[in-house]
Structure 1
Amino acid sequence: MHTCSSSSHHGQPQRNKHKNTMRKMCPNFDREDALETVLEVPIPEEMFSGLGNNVALRWQNMATWMKAQTPDKWSSPIIAGRYNEMSFLLYIVGSPILPFQIQVDRAIQRAVKHSSIEASTAKYIVQQYIAATGGQPALNAVNSMCVVGHVRISGSEFHQGDENVKVRSNHDAGGFVLWQKNPDLWCFELLISGCKVIAGSNGKISWRQSSNQQRPICTGPPRTPRRFLQGLDPRATANLFIEAVCIGEKIINEEDCFILKVDTSQSTLEEQSGAKHEIIHHTIWGYFSQRSGLLVKFEDSRLLSLKTNKEDGDVFWETSMESVIEDYRYVDGVNVAHGGRTAFTVFRYGERSANHKRELVETWKLEEVDFNVSGLKPQFFMPPPPQ
């Protein structure tokens, strides 16, 4: 964490006026008489209160933690192990990226001529969703976005075989900031329990980096983070599911919903695969309320094969996710989900040892949503320089 705020580079946009439960300012640790500084990623009160029994001790502990974020400290086995654990959680839960680039059209229209009944039904459902989230003019009026929120992540350890997995009762709390500028520029910063990950797209490549990495990892062409599709970016959601097929109906939280399904094409899967891994399938489902037209659940399933040099054969990772989306509110005429809960299941199998399973749960809540933020320049979305 740095004491320089990303938001200070772009001015202070108008914020939603609802209760703020995030810490944004901290004392200057080098000079007591200096002005307070702005935290790069706001900290939820829940995380701050866990740093000590009183305010002075909490700030002292935070100062100690901040000064410990140096490369020489990462060589410690304890700290390195913690970072590896949190990096796994952050990449799987906090900042996963969808396997393809979503084209953000000015008008979300697709011809229904020559379409199957399932495909034409999906297009009709998407048009109802566009109307429910504010209508085409309101969505087209958005050219940039800034979101501040907090998360809680809890999870189990890896368990063997098919035994039941119990998620820990304790959890890790953190905060995040998400910037976006159409069409393919975005930057996501997540700070949780002393670990940080940054992910983004500069319009040409997608990248990500955690606190203990010297260099950002480039992950191919610009792609969309899953978080946009959890009720946050209706236009991206509509453009994703306009190519879907309707496969049936299901009741979700007492809501009758249509189910739309999107399968990643074989050519896209091959593009995303590499010399040491192969993406076998990646499928996405959206559940749209028949009553409100809104997206109330989002599912994602991916199977990845890792090639090994052993005679045991390949190792397979299967990640499935179910995200329930709630608390829709209008911001500048756009209906945005302000909260939700996501359950993840990670399977690892194919080794000579027993199969392993792990479950993770993330609960998130948005504190601030702002559209059309002035001052966002393309340079802001570039990968950070090597440390």
Structure 2
Amino acid sequence: MLLSVLGCPLFPVPIHPKLPLNEVSSTAQYIIQHFTAATGCRKLEGTVKNVFATGKVTMVVVDDLGSVGGGGINGISEKGCFVMWQMVPDNWQIEIVVGGQKVLAGSNGTIAWRHTPWLGVHAAKGGVRPLRRALQANPLAVSAVFSAAQHMGEKQINGVDCFVLKLSADQKDLIDRSDNTAEMIKHAIFGYFSQRSGLLVYLEDSYLTRIQAIGTNPTYWETTMSTKIEDYRGVDGVMIAHSGSTTVMITRFGDNLKDGPVITRLEESWTIDDVAFNVQGLSIDCFLPPQELNKDCPQQHLDWRSSLHR
């Protein structure tokens, strides 16, 4: 369950080409320009071909309220590590191991895929989108995905005055990620940028999925993921976040849940051990999907872990 939700979730929207300034918020453009200046990543634009990062994670199910048996649970922390590669613009791959379980995920710019012990190899619905975890270690990715964001005002997060930018999956993206048993209703992400430092200090995204098999009542899954981003350090003259923490709230509700909503809370702490730009020897062949991947194979959409991972 931890790896299903926290392992390698995808961003709600793909990276779009930079829009003309008259088509996006001038305030949002100012915030992104402030961010690129604060991180120093502006000087790398057009020169970075790939990014490599390794790190460690600790994951835990904190509590599970409303489940059969009721009450909270005392979660046991599971420790693990990950290796992540990115090649501009849409190629990425991650291998993450936690508690003896390994998950592989990647994108070749045309298809995004996952390989998990519980579902095997399968394509991610909705086409190619950035890896959410990549935003924690790559300011160039942050600049790219938020370049077309909407400015939502100001808010204080953890005592820091922030500008708020929002990105939402459009109706076409939501339809592409839905089928006759699982409907993606919404998926939006908010980026909180410090007014003082210009750095991205908090990410918050939420998505709502409606699950209904033939002859049954619908069940709704709402997942909210909040990530604190901190410990920025210089790497080749670029400020990179080296640690943070993520909290996930999963709420399941519907008429068929007579005892009320089921709420599960997960937590993760993460650190980046190493980051490098333009690693020699990395080629496009490193991002090829597994040979056994069949885009037309039936997917186990009723598995709640798969649905949460869309």
Alpha-carbon separation, structure 2, partners of 1:285 and 1:277 = 24
Contact 1:145 1:373 (C-alpha < 8 Å) held by counterparts: yes
Alpha-carbon separation, structure 2, partners of 1:204 and 1:344 = 29
The root-mean-square deviation of aligned C-alpha atoms, in Å, is: 2.1
2:180 aligned to which of 275, 287, 292? 275
Q: Deviations over 1:270-325 (max 9, x none)?
A: 122123211101111011001110000000000011121234x2111110011000
Q: Which residue of 2 aligns with 1:159?
A: 65
Q: TM-score, normalised by structure 1?
A: 0.70
Q: Could you say if the C-alpha distance between residues 114 and 159 of structure 1 is closer, same or farther in structure 2, counting changes exceeding 3 Å?
A: closer
Percent identity for Structure 1 against Structure 2: 39
Q: Deviations over 1:240-292 (max 9, x none)?
A: 22222222212223221111111221121112212321110111101100111
Q: Which residue of 2 aligns with 1:320?
A: 224
Secondary structure at 1:275 match in 2: coil
Please show how residues 40-51 of structure 1 align to structure 2 within 5 Å.
Answer: none
Alpha-carbon separation, structure 2, partners of 1:362 and 1:341 = 6
Alpha-carbon separation, structure 2, partners of 1:280 and 1:319 = 12
Residue 238 of structure 1, CA deviation: 1.5
1:112 is aligned to 2:21: yes
Please show how residues 1-80 of structure 1 align to structure 2 within 5 Å.
Answer: none
**Structure with the larger RCO, 1 or 2 (CA within 8 Å, 6+ apart):** 2
Contact 1:154 1:168 (C-alpha < 8 Å) held by counterparts: no
Alpha-carbon separation, structure 2, partners of 1:260 and 1:205 = 27
Q: Which runs of 5+ in 1 are unaligned?
A: 1-87
Alpha-carbon separation, structure 2, partners of 1:179 and 1:90 = 19
Contact 1:304 1:317 (C-alpha < 8 Å) held by counterparts: yes
Q: Which residue of 2 aligns with 1:291?
A: 196
Q: Which residue of 1 aligns with 2:256?
A: 352
Greater radius of gyration (CA):
1
Q: Which residue of 1 aligns with 2:11?
A: 98
1:206 is aligned to 2:119: no
Secondary structure at 1:247 match in 2: strand
| Partner amino acid, structure 1, of 2:57 | V
Bigger helix fraction: 1
Q: Which residue of 1 aligns with 2:207?
A: 302
Alpha-carbon separation, structure 1, partners of 2:22 and 2:84 = 38
| Partner amino acid, structure 1, of 2:37 | A
Residue 225 of structure 1, CA deviation: 1.0
Please show how residues 179-190 of structure 1 align to structure 2 within 5 Å.
Answer: 179-190=85-96
Bigger strand fraction: 2
1:191 is aligned to 2:97: yes
Alpha-carbon separation, structure 1, partners of 2:85 and 2:74 = 31
1:147 aligned to which of 53, 60, 82? 53
Contact 1:280 1:303 (C-alpha < 8 Å) held by counterparts: yes
Please show how residues 216-255 of structure 1 align to structure 2 within 5 Å.
Answer: 216-220=121-125, 221-230=127-136, 232-255=137-160
Contact 2:224 2:250 (C-alpha < 8 Å) held by counterparts: yes
Alpha-carbon separation, structure 2, partners of 1:253 and 1:142 = 33
| Partner amino acid, structure 1, of 2:78 | D
Alpha-carbon separation, structure 2, partners of 1:209 and 1:309 = 28
| Partner amino acid, structure 1, of 2:133 | R
| Partner amino acid, structure 1, of 2:199 | L
Q: Which residue of 2 aligns with 1:138?
A: 44
Q: Deviations over 1:206-239 (max 9, x none)?
A: 00011355x4111142211111223x12122122
Alpha-carbon separation, structure 2, partners of 1:348 and 1:218 = 25
Alpha-carbon separation, structure 2, partners of 1:273 and 1:180 = 27
Alpha-carbon separation, structure 2, partners of 1:318 and 1:293 = 31
Contact 2:12 2:188 (C-alpha < 8 Å) held by counterparts: no
1:174 is aligned to 2:80: yes
Residue 157 of structure 1, CA deviation: 4.8
